[in-house]
Amino acid sequence: MGLSDKISSKTDQAVGAAKEKIGDLTNNSDLKGDGADQKASGKVDQKVEDVKDKATDVKHDAQAAADKLKD
């Protein structure tokens, strides 16, 4: 996961949580819902990037193992 992607997903989570809290405090269900959606979106983005990182690690490990077998 690139640094900018990590920052973006964490920002979405933080801003979403803030909107959700403000919506709750002001009894604004639309703002609360938007905040919950944004927070969830940030979490999903983070999980997708985590999976991509793991896949890249597996690919590199497999390549290293294949290279070892060639030697």
Note the pLDDT tens digit of each residue in 2-42.
Answer: 788 889 999 999 999 999 999 999 999 999 999 999 999 99
Q: What pLDDT score was predicted for residue 1? A: 58
- Asked whether the whole model's pTM tops 0.85, one would answer no
Sequential DSSP letters for the chain: --HHHHHHHHHHHHHHHHHHHHHHHTT-HHHHHHHHHHHHHHHHHHHHHHHHHHHHHHHHHHHHHHHHHH-
